[in-house]
Amino acid sequence: MNAASPNSDIALLAEVAEAVRLQEGEMGVRAILQAFRQLAPAPTRAISRRTGLPLPIVAAVGNELRSRGLLGQERPSRLTERGLALAAELGVELNLDPDCYRCGGLEIAIPSVLNEAVERLRRIMADGPNADVSLDQSLCTAETKVRRVLALIRAGVLPGGSVLLVGDDDLVSVAIGVVGDVLGVPLASRVGVVDISTDILDHIADTASALDLRVDLEQHDLREPLPQRLRGQFDAGMTDPPYTAEGTRLFLSRVVEGLKPGAARNILFSFGAKGTEEMLEVQQEILGLGLVTHGMIRNFNSYEGSGILAGTGFLQHLLTTASTASLVEGTYEGPLYTREKRSRQREYECVSCSARFPVGAGARWNSVADLRDAGCPQCGGGPFRPLQLVAE
Amino acid sequence: MNAASPNSDIALLAEVAEAVRLQEGEMGVRAILQAFRQLAPAPTRAISRRTGLPLPIVAAVGNELRSRGLLGQERPSRLTERGLALAAELGVELNLDPDCYRCGGLEIAIPSVLNEAVERLRRIMADGPNADVSLDQSLCTAETKVRRVLALIRAGVLPGGSVLLVGDDDLVSVAIGVVGDVLGVPLASRVGVVDISTDILDHIADTASALDLRVDLEQHDLREPLPQRLRGQFDAGMTDPPYTAEGTRLFLSRVVEGLKPGAARNILFSFGAKGTEEMLEVQQEILGLGLVTHGMIRNFNSYEGSGILAGTGFLQHLLTTASTASLVEGTYEGPLYTREKRSRQREYECVSCSARFPVGAGARWNSVADLRDAGCPQCGGGPFRPLQLVAE
């Protein structure tokens, strides 16, 4: 059984890819196999991060590999003897991590002088409001906040320039103040913050008053155009919008409204990676705004406790051009957040008996955890693997 | 004179930006001032690399700063007392380099086990053909070749997958063989190379025969569609095309023709950064091909002896989508290389007397170095700063 030919190995990979309808095909399964080979024993989250594939997909592929005896049942999992033999036959055995070990492949490393800033931000976060998941909020870690400030320094915006934060549940405004305080250098000439949440704005105001930080706070629904006093004022902008094409267009339009006119203004755009088709839509929106990509760092943003995106997102460095203009001049009325766009139920298949069940708001099981706890209503078994979203 | 107000400082920056018609405005001048503050004494090339601004622009801004007594006359230059005072007033004095010091902000660090591969590639390059500048060729360094192989490993293409190199004057095919040889692992199941130059193909064939490397060489003009036997065959593609929007469309179309059908195939695209307007055109071509950007590392590629681009270019990681298709189905007849698109003369202004002179092929001075050596024909002085290209 181990003497499989390369062709039957590839057929096996293609079979697994087909079983979970994996867009990335057999190369995606290969990448997951390789990641298990290199990182084992590895939690699903680590495999997702290494391969760039979404967590539920990695989980589903893992289940397929387990059902074929290639991956062990223990968690975190490692390849079985058969799995290792397959990895050897596929030539994915190389034990070499090309990511820079210092920065983890993130380009920017936090210098030790800023460890204190990370610590202080952690304490400030603990006192702040929680994330509102209905607004697609998931809070970035203290390290990510400091790295975002370093990215503004690297772009030449800080020290000395002005920054508009379009939405700031991530408290980047506070991070600019804390990093400046630790370095003993006032970093920004002006920090503008536009957010809908008075809880967040109050928290920023309280924290900023203890630092030497000039923040300009505006409670505002970003569906509405930027208030006149903030338009055309800033050297640079930053946003971590709702992770939809519509969220991208709207939030980046508001950023553009806030920037001083002219080309080559910096925008730092954070986003949770999606599948290739959704990314195509998002990138069409960015180009439609007349913005060019100047850099893009995968896994730059780490978020606390956001499962579906494997807790990371990229940072895209954008520049304005002569043709940059807001695409949403008036009030925006359409869908915006993931929950508004997305069907609320997904079909799950019992791996034991192949029966399929819808899971999610309005279905018999609210989450796959509920379904797992109850067991398959047909055969009493499981586990379950995610299929397509249910059309509404 | 040193007691300038912040407003007059900004006016000074704006004045310098205006003098060299700098797209990036006063923020660009600020970034250059900051880079001189941090790196001094620094050659123009280092300032260009740090700021991401093209070398001739940095040189012109440097001349403006010198003529205002802000930058010293010595080379490499550092800020004068007045320049330092201005930097302090602008708040750009921060001495903190956010780039990871291990990888230099390139995400990928060459592990010491591969130092031998770098050395061997350096020797192989010394035996190879020289770059053909009429084809926009400028050869990437041995370190860059190894980093490109590591990028293919990181993308999960290697080990085990197949790669098509659309143009390979950079000898990435050889680098795949050398890195595999040093690691003792055959890296690629197949390496396809399409190039117009028999010199390069012969050099690759000679080198590959000494390694355990299966290369599939095809002498071919990429203005023509990819030969049938190479179409739809490869897991991934790589190209470093002519640095024009047309070169991007044509070379990426040929890459796409060579890839196996399906989404999420990897393409690694190297390019020398241009101004924002040109980058907008290039990125429109990429999106027009139905390709999404998955990552983009600035300064990833270092080239030997290419002045105009400051010797570096970015690496953009692209993925195919369901709508990816070649945009150049037949023979391409249009302009392609920089020299075909670009006027061959640029106007230079004498900073002493403001007289203007065309410089370049067909003009009285072939290069600005010739003009400098001769001195200004009107006042005998100089230096000279670049203005617009001369329309043909």
Q: pLDDT tens, position by position, for chain B (392 residues)?
A: 333 455 677 788 889 988 888 877 888 898 898 889 888 788 888 888 888 787 888 999 999 999 999 999 998 899 999 998 888 877 666 778 888 888 989 999 998 899 999 999 999 998 887 766 565 567 899 999 999 999 999 998 998 899 999 999 999 999 999 999 999 888 999 999 999 999 999 999 999 988 878 899 999 999 999 999 999 999 999 999 999 999 999 999 999 999 999 888 999 999 987 888 899 999 999 999 999 999 999 999 998 864 444 478 999 999 999 889 999 888 988 887 766 655 556 778 887 788 888 887 777 777 777 788 788 888 888 777 766 666 54
pLDDT digits (tens, 9 = 90+) for A249-299: 999 999 999 999 988 899 999 998 788 889 999 999 999 999 999 999 999
Q: What is the per-residue pLDDT for A117?
A: 96
**Is pLDDT of A9 > 60?**
yes
Q: What is the per-residue pLDDT for A133?
A: 56
Q: Which residues on chain B are in Cβ contact (under 8 Å) with A117? A: none
Q: How far is B108 from chain A (nearest CA, A)?
A: 5
pLDDT digits (tens, 9 = 90+) for A295-338: 999 999 998 864 444 478 999 999 999 889 999 888 888 887 76
Q: What is the per-residue pLDDT for A136?
A: 58
Choice among A88-102, A333-347, B304-318 with the minimum mean pLDDT: A333-347
Q: What is the per-residue pLDDT for B132?
A: 62
Six token digits for residue A381 = 């078994």
* CB within 8 Å: B161 and A297: no
Q: What is the per-residue pLDDT for A179?
A: 95
Which comes out higher in pLDDT, residue A82 or B345? Answer: A82
CA dist B239 to A5, A63, B163, B359, Å? 32, 37, 11, 32
pTM for this structure?
0.79
Six token digits for residue A373 = 């706890």
- Report residue A391: phi and psi, to 5°: -65, 140
* CB within 8 Å: A102 and B103: yes
Q: Which residues on chain B are in Cβ contact (under 8 Å) with A297? A: 107, 295
Q: What is the per-residue pLDDT for A309?
A: 43
Mean pLDDT of A163-192: 94
Residues sharing a CB contact under 8 Å with residue A97, sequence separation 6 or more, in sequence order: A38
Best to test chain B binding among A10, A48, A100, A301 (most B CBs inside 10 Å)? A100
* CB within 8 Å: A107 and B105: yes
Q: What is the per-residue pLDDT for A248?
A: 96
Q: Is A12 helix (H, G, I), strand (E, B) or coil?
A: helix
* CB within 8 Å: A292 and B314: no
pLDDT digits (tens, 9 = 90+) for A131-171: 665 555 678 999 999 999 999 999 989 988 999 999 999 99
Q: What is the per-residue pLDDT for A355?
A: 83
- The strand ranges marked E within chain A are 162-166, 190-195, 215-219, 236-239, 266-271, 291-302, 312-320, 345-350, 356-360, 384-389
Q: What is the per-residue pLDDT for B131?
A: 63
Q: What is the per-residue pLDDT for B177?
A: 96
Q: What is the per-residue pLDDT for A384?
A: 76
CB-based contact B108:A99 (threshold 8 Å): yes
Q: What is the per-residue pLDDT for A392?
A: 47
Q: How far is A195 from chain B (nearest CA, A)?
A: 27
CB-based contact A30:A113 (threshold 8 Å): no
CA dist B300 to A41, A382, B116, B354, Å? 32, 47, 20, 39
Q: What is the per-residue pLDDT for B7?
A: 63
Mean pLDDT of A58-64: 92
Place of tokens 């049938």: B228
Q: In what order do the strands lie in the sheet with B384-389?
A: B356-360, B345-350, B384-389
* CB within 8 Å: A295 and B294: no
Q: Is A267 helix (H, G, I), strand (E, B) or coil?
A: strand
The conformational region for residue B248 under phi > 0 = left, psi -120 to 50 = alpha, else beta, is alpha
Domains of chain B: 6-90 (1.10.10.10), 112-320 (3.40.50.150), 343-389 (no CATH)
Q: How far is B278 from chain A (nearest CA, A)?
A: 10
DSSP A27: H
The interface pTM score, or ipTM, of the predicted complex is: 0.79
Q: What is the per-residue pLDDT for A137?
A: 61
Q: Which helix (H) or strand (E) holds B193?
A: strand B190-195
Q: What is the per-residue pLDDT for A308?
A: 45
CB-based contact A161:A182 (threshold 8 Å): no
pLDDT digits (tens, 9 = 90+) for A216-226: 999 999 999 99
Sign of CA dihedral B18, B21, B26, B32: negative
Sign of CA dihedral B179, B181, B185, B187: positive
Q: Which residues on chain A are in Cβ contact (under 8 Å) with B292? A: 276, 279-280, 283
Q: What is the per-residue pLDDT for A41?
A: 84
Q: What is the per-residue pLDDT for A42?
A: 83
Best to test chain B binding among A154, A259, A301 (most B CBs inside 10 Å)? A154
